[in-house]
Structure 1
Amino acid sequence: MPLSTRTVACLIYPDVMSLDAVGPLQVFGSANAERAGHGLPPAYALRMVAEAAGPVTTSAGFALVADVSWATLDPAQLDTVLVAGGDGVMAQLDNTTLQQWLRGAEPQVRRMGSVCSGALLLAHAGLLDGLHATTHWCRTDLMRRDYPAVQVDDDCLHTYDAASAVYGHLFTSAGVTAGIDLALALVEADLGRPMALAVARRLVMFMRRPGGQAQFSALLAPETRHAPRLAALLEWIPSQLGGDLSLDALAEQACMPPRTLTRVFQRELGTTPGRYVERVRVEAASNLLSQAQASVSTVARLCGFEHPENLRRSFHKHRAVSPQAYAQRFGAGALLD
C-alpha cells in the first residue's frame, strides 16, 4: 500500500505547555527530514490548531502560532490528533464547544491521543471511559478522583499499542517528554523501527523508551517531609538490593514496628514497602542491563531477585518487556543467558 501524507494536528490553547506540542511535532518533522535525505516525500503534514488561528501564549510566556481553528477543520481529513497539556488545561474543561469537537472528531480520525495533562480533556469529553489512561504524575490523583470510569495508570509513559484496535486508536501519555516517546512509537507504527531509531538519533535521544516504563526513577528518593526516619531508609535501600529487604528487615532498619512502617509508606509514598523495593530493584537491574555489565542471572542475583524468573516477572510488570528484550533494545551488547 503506497504511503500517503498523514496530517497530524496538535491542539493547543492559552497556557499550554510548549514542549507538549513542539516535542511530538518535531518527531514527525524529523521523520520527514530523514525521508528527504533518502529522496522520499514527506510522510506527515503538521498543523498547530487552536480555537482561533494566530498566536497562543504558552505557560512559558512566549507564543506558538496556530495556523487554523479546530472549529473549521474537517476531522475526516486528519490522520492523528494530539491534545497537548499544560497549566491552561483546567480552563478548557469548561469549553463545551471544544468538548463537542473532540467527541465528534474521535470516530473520524485514525488516531487521537494526549500529551501530559491533555488527557484530562479527553477524559472530560467521556472518551476515556472504561480505558486505561495515564497523565503527568502530579495529575493522576485528580484524574482518578474526577473521572472514576477511567482506569488510571500512574506508572507508565504512554498507553499507545499499535497492535490494539482500542489503544491503537485512542491513547494517552505521561508528562512532557513522554509525548516524544509517544510520537516515536507512532512513527515506528507508521514507518518502521529503523525510521523511529533514526529519528531518535537525529534528536540526540539516548533511547526510545517503551510505553510501559515508569514515569520517574525509583532510585531518586522521594521527599518525605514528615518522616525523617523514612527518608534515611529510602537512602539506605539502594545500597542493600542484594540483601534482605523484607518488611521486618526494613522495619528494623527504620526503628519502627512493621505495621507502623507500612502506614508511613502509604501516607508518604502511596505504596507499600514491598512494592517500593521491587521498583528500586527493577530500576537498578535496568541500569545494569543497559550498561552491559552482567548476564541476566547475575543481574537477578545482584539486585535481590534471587532467580532470573523473578526478575522476568517484575520486568514484565514494570517495563512491559523481558530483561533480555530490554538489554537487546537499550544495552550495548549485554550478556544474555
Structure 2
Amino acid sequence: MKRIKVGMLVFPGFQLLDIAGPKDAFAEVKVLSRGECEYEMMMVGTTRGTVQSSSGLTTVPDRTIFDPCSEFDTIIVPGGLGIFDAFDDPALSDWLRAQHRQCRHVSAICNGLFALGSAGLLDNKLVTTHWMDVPRLASTFPKARIELDHIFVRDGSIYTTAGVTAGIDLSLAMIEDDFGRQMALDVAKYLIVYLRRAGGQSQFSPLLETQASPGSQTVELQQFMLDNLHVGHTVTSLAERVHMSARNLSRIFAKDCGITPMTFLANARIDAARRYLEATELPLREIARRCGFDDTDGFRRTFLRRLQINPVEYRDRFRSKPVREKADVK
C-alpha cells in the first residue's frame, strides 16, 4: 500500500469546508483504489482541546502544534476569519517553518496563506488567495508575487488557492501528482466536480471594484460610460465631455479609481455581458452590440481572454432560471 501522511491544521474560526472538502476527496482514494492507496490524515490544532470552526461546528484535533507528530508528507492550512487572530502567532510560525523543512508540500487554502507569510514562506513565491483578500495580502506580505485570478497556484513545494471550494481543486491536483490522473478523475467524478475548473476567480468576483467615491470628479463620467456602453468611446471623447485634456482626465481618473478610463470601460463591458449571459436569452451578437464590442468574434475573444471561459460555456454554467429577458432579435 502506498500511504501519504497529511497534517491538517485547525485553529479557532477556521473555515470548515477548507478541511472537509480535501478530507473527503483524500478519503475517496482509499475507497476507489480498493485499499491499495491511502492518505493518512491527522488534524493538528493550534490550541489544546476542541476547536470551533467559523460555522460553529467543532472538531477534536489528534495532536497540537505543541505535541510530537509523526513526519508529514503534506501540510494543509485552511482559511477562515480566525486566521487573522492566529496567523502571526510565533509558535505557529515556528511549527510551519519546521514542517516546511521536512515536508514535500506545504499548502494553504484561501486566506490560510497569511500563516505561511508570517512564517516567511511566501517571500518571492508565486501565490493566490481569495480575491477579497488580495489587497490585504499585498500590503502585509509585499514580497509575495500574487496571481490575481487563479484557482490555485503551485510554486515549488508551496501550494496556495482561492477561496473555500478551491480546496477541492487543490486536493484533486495533489491526488493527480501522488496517484495519477485517472485516480484524480475518478475522485472528481465521484464528488461530481470538475477535475480542472475552466477559468479563474473573475468568473465569481465582481470586476467593477473601482467605482469612484460619490462627489469625486469622475463619478459622473463613470455613470455616463455605464449608461452608454454601446458607444465607441475614446479617451479624447470622454475628456471632451468633462472639459479636460485627455492627459489630465487619465491622471485624475487613475488617482480616483486606480485604473485608466479605458480599463474601467473594458471592465464595465465584460461585467454587463456577464449579466446578459446570466439573465437573458439574447443572442451573442445582440449582447456584443449592447456592450460596445465591434462584432461577435471580438466579443468572444475578449470574453475568453478575460475570464478564461467562452460566453456560451459561461451562460451554460451560470444562467439564472427563469430567464428574465428574451431575445427580440433573431
- Please report the TM-score for the alignment, with normalisation by the length of structure 1: 0.70
Amino acid at match of 1:8: V
CA offset digits 1:93-123 (Å, max 9, x no partner): 3421111111111021111111111111111
Query: Do the aligned residues in 1 keep the contact of 2:54 with 2:81 (CA within 8 Å)?
Result: yes
- The percentage of counterpart residues that share the same residue type is 30
Q: Partner of 2:98: helix, strand, or coil?
A: helix
Stretch of structure 1 that moved more, 271-280 or 55-64: 271-280
Aligned pair partner of 1:199 in 187, 198, 208: 187
Distance 1:256 1:55 in 2: 64
1:56-71 equivalences in 2 (<5 Å): 56-71=51-66
CA shift in 2, pair 1:144/1:102, >3 Å: same
- In the TM superposition, residue 84 of structure 1 has moved relative to its aligned partner by 1.1
Give the match for residue 17 of structure 2.
19
Which stretches in structure 2 are left out of the alignment for 5+ residues? 278-282, 318-330
- In the TM superposition, residue 82 of structure 1 has moved relative to its aligned partner by 0.9
Stretch of structure 1 that moved more, 65-74 or 273-282: 273-282
Pairing 1:188–2:176 present = yes
Greater C-alpha radius of gyration:
2
1:159-174 equivalences in 2 (<5 Å): 159-160=153-154, 167-174=155-162
Aligned pair partner of 1:102 in 96, 104, 113: 96
Give the match for residue 74 of structure 2.
80
CA offset digits 1:24-67 (Å, max 9, x no partner): 2222223434x15xx34343122221134542011222212212
CA shift in 2, pair 1:145/1:196, >3 Å: same
- In the TM superposition, residue 190 of structure 1 has moved relative to its aligned partner by 2.5
- In the TM superposition, residue 146 of structure 1 has moved relative to its aligned partner by 2.0
Aligned pair partner of 1:214 in 202, 213, 216: 202
Query: Do the aligned residues in 1 keep the contact of 2:88 with 2:118 (CA within 8 Å)?
Result: no
Query: Do the aligned residues in 2 keep the contact of 1:282 with 1:315 (CA within 8 Å)?
Result: no
Amino acid at match of 1:171: Y
- In the TM superposition, residue 89 of structure 1 has moved relative to its aligned partner by 1.4
- In the TM superposition, residue 252 of structure 1 has moved relative to its aligned partner by 8.1
Which stretches in structure 1 are left out of the alignment for 5+ residues? 161-166, 289-293, 333-337
Query: Do the aligned residues in 2 keep the contact of 1:85 with 1:117 (CA within 8 Å)?
Result: yes
Query: Do the aligned residues in 2 keep the contact of 1:113 with 1:171 (CA within 8 Å)?
Result: yes
CA shift in 2, pair 1:201/1:223, >3 Å: farther
Q: Partner of 1:159: helix, strand, or coil?
A: strand
Aligned pair partner of 1:47 in 42, 48, 55: 42
Q: Partner of 1:195: helix, strand, or coil?
A: helix
Give the match for residue 131 of structure 1.
125
1:1-16 equivalences in 2 (<5 Å): 4-16=2-14
Query: Do the aligned residues in 1 keep the contact of 2:225 with 2:265 (CA within 8 Å)?
Result: no
Query: Do the aligned residues in 2 keep the contact of 1:24 with 1:183 (CA within 8 Å)?
Result: yes
Give the match for residue 29 of structure 1.
27
Query: Do the aligned residues in 1 keep the contact of 2:76 with 2:108 (CA within 8 Å)?
Result: yes
Amino acid at match of 1:99: S
Give the match for residue 328 of structure 2.
none
CA shift in 2, pair 1:282/1:226, >3 Å: closer
Give the match for residue 325 of structure 2.
none
CA shift in 2, pair 1:236/1:168, >3 Å: farther
CA shift in 2, pair 1:261/1:85, >3 Å: same
- In the TM superposition, residue 195 of structure 1 has moved relative to its aligned partner by 3.2
Query: Do the aligned residues in 2 keep the contact of 1:224 with 1:230 (CA within 8 Å)?
Result: no
CA RMSD of aligned residues (A): 4.4
Query: Do the aligned residues in 1 keep the contact of 2:152 with 2:170 (CA within 8 Å)?
Result: yes
- In the TM superposition, residue 69 of structure 1 has moved relative to its aligned partner by 1.6
Query: Do the aligned residues in 1 keep the contact of 2:15 with 2:55 (CA within 8 Å)?
Result: yes
Query: Do the aligned residues in 2 keep the contact of 1:155 with 1:212 (CA within 8 Å)?
Result: yes
Query: Do the aligned residues in 1 keep the contact of 2:188 with 2:195 (CA within 8 Å)?
Result: yes
CA offset digits 1:118-163 (Å, max 9, x no partner): 1111111111101122222232222211222212233322212xxx
Q: Partner of 1:214: helix, strand, or coil?
A: helix
Distance 2:211 2:233 in 1: 21
Query: Do the aligned residues in 1 keep the contact of 2:104 with 2:157 (CA within 8 Å)?
Result: yes
Distance 1:276 1:307 in 2: 21
